[in-house]
Amino acid sequence: MTYYSYSRLGTFEDCPLKYKFNYLDKIKRDEESIEAFLGSRFHETMEKLYRDLRYRLCSLEELISYYEDLWSKNYHKDILIVRRERTVDDYRNLGRRCIEDYYKRYYPFNRGRTLAIEKRVIVDINGDRKYLIQGYIDRIDQLADGTYEIHDYKTSGSLPEQTYFDRDRQLALYQIGIQNIWKDVKKVNLIWHYVAFDKEMSSVRSPEELETLKKDTVVLINKIENTEEFLPKESALCSWCPYPDLCPRQKHNYKTEKLLVNEYLNDDGVKLVNTFASFDLKKKEYKEKIKEIDKELEKLKEAVIKYAVKEGIEVIMGSDHKLKISEKQKVSILGKKGSSERKALEEILRRLNKIEEVSTLDTFALERIIKDREWDDDILEKIKDFYTFKKVKSVSLSKKK
């Protein structure tokens, strides 16, 4: 039985290969991004604040000192700072400021009663234990009017738009989870604390939206479980990926970026790319030259025809060559493919049963249809002996970012 989580589903969507490394091959890495480290320390500090709140409200100074202590005790050598313009202290100070802002915003913390902190929820989507989602809710509160609130802390450095919250899967799944735990869960507010911006964002879900979410989640889990080839999907998130040494898209960069200049230039891969790039540049230069030569030839052709007409000749002699000017009748069919003229012509030919004589199979369109399975399976089955699948490697050159 596989327990899925919000981050597990998200990882598959972000990059199937990263998903495979992490969840199927279970390759563990010591590296931790500074953003994740900061997030963990903030969450732990909030946990203390709300656990203590059952008995007493701890002071801001106490909380900051708790955070500082956590930071120092947990900081380790494998913390990764991707944004080179930032320092460890930038992040540490950001965490402190988030705590101060949060404390001031919610002081004296009497908006609702906290029912649970870091609450584990299991969502059995279809009730048959086939599709299970597991998650930990940062905090669950209940207001005086009985409304439940699912709170989530985010230390992220970017604030999403409202549409993101209205479509977010994580807290909506948690809502389904707590509705199965407590019978009196009727009205639920989903709340995100974007603490780096001192912002509280919220959203609600209708029963219909929760049903749609369940269906979409089942579709996604089925897709994951039926995936045979976990392909890499590059994005800005690659900078935070813990598997650059294993990923075919990043492996060579990972291997070479730490080399000294002369070692780098002697790497076989680097040499190949540099040679390829220089030939590609030559090809572009030649293409430009050929264009210019074609233009000149076109001008000369016009001059030759003019001369031949003027002299009433069809052959013009040169030193080693001669030019022959000939004329033939050319048929030009009106309109472009798909134009109204072409459609009208095709219709006439079809009516006259002549279309077969002038049409050929569009193999490009057929390849696309087969690849994207645009036709029904039974149709594809009938033509299956007429095509094969083969993997073709291609090479494309682009500038390094």
Residue 233 near ligand SF4 by CB under 6 A = yes
Residue 238 near ligand SF4 by CB under 6 A = yes
Q: Is 166 exposed, middle or buried (0-12, 13-18, 19+ CB in 10 A)?
A: middle
255 or 284: CB nearest ligand SF4: 255
Answer for the pair 218, 126: CB distance below 8 angstroms, yes or no: yes
The Cα–Cα gap between 42 and 346 comes to 69
Residue 13 near ligand SF4 by CB under 6 A = no
CB atoms within 10 A of CB 242: 19
96 or 251: CB nearest ligand SF4: 251
Write down the least CB distance from residue 255 to ligand SF4, Å.
13
Within residues 239-298, the interface with ligand SF4 by CB under 6 A covers: 241, 243-244, 247, 249-250
Write down the least CB distance from residue 25 to ligand SF4, Å.
11
The Cα–Cα gap between 371 and 6 comes to 31
Judged by CB under 6 A, the stretch of 157-165, 219-227, 235-243, 357-365 that binds ligand SF4 is: 235-243
Write down the least CB distance from residue 16 to ligand SF4, Å.
8
The Cα–Cα gap between 276 and 189 comes to 57
Alpha helix segments (H runs only) across 192-257: 207-226, 251-256
Alpha-carbon torsion (233, 236, 237, 240), positive or negative: positive
The Cα–Cα gap between 386 and 397 comes to 33
- The residue count for binding ligand SF4 (CB under 6 A) is 14
Which one of residues 237, 290, 303, 348 is an interface residue with ligand SF4 (CB under 6 A)? 237
Q: What is the DSSP string of 355-389?
A: HHHH----HHHHHHHHHTT-S-HHHHHHTGGG---
Which one of residues 78, 216, 234, 302 is an interface residue with ligand SF4 (CB under 6 A)? 234
237 or 315: CB nearest ligand SF4: 237
43 or 249: CB nearest ligand SF4: 249
The Cα–Cα gap between 369 and 380 comes to 9
Q: If phi over 0 gives left and psi between -120 and 50 gives alpha, with beta otherwise, what is residue 146?
A: left
Judged by CB under 6 A, the stretch of 60-68, 159-167, 203-211, 234-242 that binds ligand SF4 is: 234-242
Contact map string, positions 182 to 221, toward ligand SF4, x by CB under 6 A: ----------------------------------------
Residue 18 near ligand SF4 by CB under 6 A = yes
Which SS3 state, helix, strand or coil, does residue 401 take?
coil
125 or 238: CB nearest ligand SF4: 238
Alpha helix segments (H runs only) across 75-119: 88-106
The residue behind tokens 């040679």 is: 275
Which SS3 state, helix, strand or coil, does residue 68 take?
helix
Write down the least CB distance from residue 14 to ligand SF4, Å.
7
12 or 192: CB nearest ligand SF4: 12
Which one of residues 15, 99, 172, 224 is an interface residue with ligand SF4 (CB under 6 A)? 15
Judged by CB under 6 A, the stretch of 138-146, 228-236, 270-278, 378-386 that binds ligand SF4 is: 228-236
Write down the least CB distance from residue 239 to ligand SF4, Å.
8
Which one of residues 4, 8, 9, 17 is an interface residue with ligand SF4 (CB under 6 A)? 17
Write down the least CB distance from residue 184 to ligand SF4, Å.
42
- 345's tokens: 């012509």
Tell me 287's DSSP state. Answer: H
Judged by CB under 6 A, the stretch of 44-52, 117-125, 229-237, 324-332 that binds ligand SF4 is: 229-237
Element (H, E) at 149: strand 148-154
Indicate the pairing of strand 322-324 with strand 315-317.
Answer: antiparallel
Summary count for the chain: helices (H), strands (E): 15, 10
Binding residues for ligand SF4, per CB under 6 A? Answer: 15, 17-18, 232-234, 237-238, 241, 243-244, 247, 249-250
